[in-house]
Structure 1
Amino acid sequence: MSTDPAHRNHDHEHPSASDCVDFLEQIVYFIDNELDEADCAAVRLHLDTCNPCLAKYDLQRTVKAVVARSCSETAPAELRARVMMRVRQVQIEIRES
């Protein structure tokens, strides 16, 4: 358990938005391994004891994995052609308005 008084008073069953906001802001950096070791340890401890934040972490990690996988796939040529045609149509509509 953390010795931080703010964390000690944190109700992990029913956290308020302000209780978890700092940890939720760090989740993306935690997933990307962009935090220093002390911040990583703090986020890990919080996730180990706070189910709502853990659920948000799992969702963020899943979304990031799906986006990464989707971005590596090549779109079919027909789709690219349709998208480019629509882009040209929008450009023409913008010029004419």
Structure 2
Amino acid sequence: MTEPTGQHGHSQDDCSDYLERIVFFLDNELDEADCSEVQVHLDECGPCLEKYDLQRTVKQVVARSCKESAPDGLRERVRIQIREVQVRISEG
């Protein structure tokens, strides 16, 4: 039995391999040869490109959210909760 093929003849196994590597591609953790290979695949495979775009967008939203500071009131409530848990643990 042959593997079903996606757009431009890519097999599902082929695409799943690239989808795993997209995370490393987004984080610039691939060498030049692997980056080129992933980029060529993304240029040829619409479904993988859509998943790449989605992952990139999520990563950007998370990165932007991590730069924001919590309001002072929230920070103080968290500090109080941490102290209370530490006291319970030390008394326990």
Calculate the TM-score normalised by the size of structure 2. 0.72
| Structure 1 unaligned residues grouped into runs of 5+ | 1-8
* Deviation of the 1:37 alpha carbon: 1.2
Q: How much identity, in percent, do the aligned residues show?
A: 60
- 1:12-53 per-residue CA deviation (whole Å, 9 max, x = no partner) reads 27853x231110111111112221111111101110111111
AA aligned to 2:41 is H
Take 1:55 and 1:93, find their aligned partners in 2: how far apart are those partners?
Answer: 49
Residue number in structure 2 paired with 1:71? 66
Partner secondary structure for residue 33 of structure 1: coil
Where do 4+ consecutive residues of structure 1 move more than 2 Å?
A: 13-16, 81-95
For these two proteins, the number of residue pairs brought into alignment is 88
Residue number in structure 2 paired with 1:30? 25
Q: Quick one: which of 48, 51, 70 aligns to 1:53?
A: 48
Calculate the TM-score normalised by the size of structure 1. 0.69
Take 1:74 and 1:90, find their aligned partners in 2: how far apart are those partners?
Answer: 23
Partner secondary structure for residue 61 of structure 2: helix
Residue number in structure 1 paired with 2:6? 11
Take 1:64 and 1:89, find their aligned partners in 2: how far apart are those partners?
Answer: 34
